[in-house]
């Protein structure tokens, strides 16, 4: 039941990271503060389609 999701930077909209999530337990979109190499800063990365 774990699906692979892509995380996109909220500043530059680039897709930098992939992770897995449990679709049954976590129904809302994931959001992590991670390093964006293009922005060269720690920014919020949200789950994208």
Question: What are the structural domains, with CATH classification, of the chain?
Answer: 2-48 (2.20.28.120)
pLDDT value for 47: 97
Low pLDDT (below 50) residues in the chain: none
**Calpha distance 11→39 (Å, rounded):** 8
**Calpha distance 10→43 (Å, rounded):** 7
Range 29-45 burial, b when 16+ CB lie within 10 A, else e: eeeeeeebeeeeeebeb
């Amino acid at each position: 039941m774990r699906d692979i999701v892509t995380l996109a930077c909220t500043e530059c909209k680039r897709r930098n990271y992939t992770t897995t999530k449990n679709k049954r337990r976590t129904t809302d979109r994931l959001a992590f503060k991670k390093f964006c190499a293009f922005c060269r800063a720690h920014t919020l990365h949200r789950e994208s389609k």
